[in-house]
Amino acid sequence: MIQGYAQSGHPQVALDLFGRMCVEGIEATDVTFVAVLTACAHAGMIEQGLAIASRAEIDFGVRIGIQHYHCLVDLLGRAHHLDRAEELVETMPFVPDAYSWTTLLAACSIHGRSGDDAARRAVACDPGHGAPYVILSNCYSSSRGGGRTARKSRPS
């Protein structure tokens, strides 16, 4: 339910459900934390998301994995903290995979920043993964006026 609310435009409801889980002693899993961090990303709750991730193992015994780092990169990227998101990818305790770099690339595309380096790194990790190509293509297309070329007026 938390993930459904997080992705359907109701991140605060998702976070409220998580709070109720905690109060009622319902066990949170690694999947729960993916959902909660997704809700934080969609709600722009940077500090809350980072705090929840940092306390997951201490408070809930849930070890933060690469999928949680992807959520944190998304969280920072959506909030326009692209340098912090990139630093997180480069310093996380896992080898960044194609999804790590693609998540950063998507954040760059949202904010009109070149994501060439993230795209190169994503493709280097998994050349068959199509998302970096699509996102980068869309970035180039939108930076050139939607791919349309200006027509010269013809004399009448």
What SS3 class is residue 12? helix
**More reliable by pLDDT, 68 or 143:** 68
d(CA 135, CA 22): 38
d(CA 51, CA 45): 10
Q: Sorting pLDDT into bands at 50, 70 and 90, what band is 144?
A: low
**For position 32, what pLDDT does the model report?**
96
* Residue 25 reports pLDDT greater than 70: yes
Per-residue pLDDT tens over the stretch 38-61: 999 999 999 999 999 999 999 999
Q: 90 is written with which tokens?
A: 């480069």
How large is the average pLDDT for residues 60-74? 96
Per-residue pLDDT tens over the stretch 105-138: 999 888 877 788 898 998 899 888 888 888 888 7
d(CA 108, CA 105): 5
Structural domain spans, the chain: 1-64, 82-144
Give how far Cα 7 sits from Cα of 14, 33, 62, 104, Å: 9, 14, 22, 19
Distance from chain centroid for Cα 75: 5
How large is the average pLDDT for residues 62-89? 96
